Amino acid sequence: MRTLISTLALLAVVAGIGSASAEDKHKCGNAAESQWMSKDAIKAKFGADGTKVRQVKVEGGCYEVYAVTKDGAKVEKLVNPVTGEVVGGEDEEG
């Protein structure tokens, strides 16, 4: 019985991980790369307020932007590649 409960708990965790990945993909959509904004356009969008973009890369159907704000805070943002909308990310104190 204990093994059954452990197995069911493990399956629930694995299913949750799969759902989270699908949710991130959904936030960024599944548009063809030909419809995406260029990396330079993403850099310009972030740079408009003085943020210095260090790197833009593709991660799971999103752009992942690594940057430093004008106040020196490091930021990592997930960006919808078609709209340029921030859909997630992390900020660190600078």
Could you write out the DSSP letters of every residue in 12-43?
HHHHHHHHHHHHHHHHH----GGGSPPHHHHH
Report helix, strand or coil for 46.
helix
Report helix, strand or coil for 82.
coil
Q: What is the pLDDT of residues 8-36, one digit of tens each?
A: 454 554 444 443 444 445 588 889 999 99
Task: Name the residue range of residue 25's domain.
Answer: 2-91
pTM of this prediction exceeds 0.85: no
Rounded Cα–Cα distance for residues 39 and 32 (Å):
15
Sheet containing 74-79: order of strands: 52-59, 62-68, 74-79, 86-91
Structural domain total, the chain: 1
Q: What is the pLDDT of residues 61-85, one digit of tens each?
A: 999 999 999 999 999 999 999 999 9
